[in-house]
Amino acid sequence: MIPSPRWSALGAVALLTGLAACDKPSAPAPAGSASAAASAAPTASATPSATATAAASAAASATAAPAASSTTSQLTGDAKDVVLTVREPDKEPEKTVKVTAGGTVTVFLPDAAGEVWTYESGDKTLGKPKEQVIPGFAPGVSGHEFKWVLPAAMFKSGAKHKATFAAKKAGKRGATFALNLEVL
């Protein structure tokens, strides 16, 4: 009987999973025992697995943007798709973010105490963001999402762009928040 390719692939996955489990270090055995000598012998499967793991983590770190967070804001995502959540824009009224041309930038601002955040201004290259209200942004607080797509043809490496937001309460302008983008 010839095994189907599906079963062969599942067998390969099971084998790789088993090999990965064997790569984990175990507690040292007492010196002089036969199992201590056996566990000290190198295995052929440890080297390729360790090399693959190191290569995968190096590739992931090369594409990831540094995640930065503070008590007032949190920066997540990668260099291609940056997400900035600003918890307290009144304590941190300006934030600089490094972005990649061809990616996206998303900013979340909380609508608290009857204030509503609006996009006020930005340079022409950046344009107006896509905007939506996020109910339940935080307990008892709605939020605003502002999102830009950064076409590679329009955004050059080293360029800087700025967008300004204003909180409005009963039609009156309140606090402001400035977002500075540095294109990598």
- Predicted confidence (pLDDT) per residue in 35-55, tens digit: 444 444 444 444 443 333 333
Of 158, 155, 130, which is closest to residue 144 (Cα–Cα)?
A: 130
**Residue 55 forms part of a structural domain:** yes
Say if strands 130-138 and 94-99 run parallel, antiparallel, or are unpaired: unpaired
What is residue 2's predicted lDDT score, i.e. its pLDDT?
53
Distance CA 145, CA 119 (A): 10
State whether 18 and 81 are in the same domain.
Answer: no
State whether 143 and 87 are in the same domain.
Answer: yes
> To the nearest whole number, what is the mean pLDDT of the chain?
73
132 neighbors 144 (Cβ within 8 angstroms): yes
Of 71, 183, 86, which is closest to residue 143 (Cα–Cα)?
A: 86
State whether 23 and 94 are in the same domain.
Answer: no
Q: Is the pLDDT of residue 157 over 80?
A: yes
State whether 83 and 108 are in the same domain.
Answer: yes
State whether 138 and 178 are in the same domain.
Answer: yes
- Rounded to two decimals, the pTM is 0.62
State whether 114 and 158 are in the same domain.
Answer: yes
Domain final residue pick, 16, 41, 63: 63
What is residue 69's predicted lDDT score, i.e. its pLDDT?
57
Number of domains in the chain: 2
Lowest-confidence region among 45-49, 147-151, 154-158: 45-49
State whether 97 and 55 are in the same domain.
Answer: no
Lowest-confidence region among 44-53, 156-165, 166-175: 44-53
CATH number for the domain including 94? 2.60.40.2020
State whether 80 and 171 are in the same domain.
Answer: yes
Instruction: Tell me the mean pLDDT in the region 56-77.
Output: 55
**Structural domain range at position 11:** 5-63
Amino acid at 4: S
Q: Which stretches does DSSP call E strand in the chain? A: 73-77, 81-86, 94-99, 104-111, 116-122, 130-138, 141-149, 160-169, 172-183
**Residue 68 forms part of a structural domain:** no
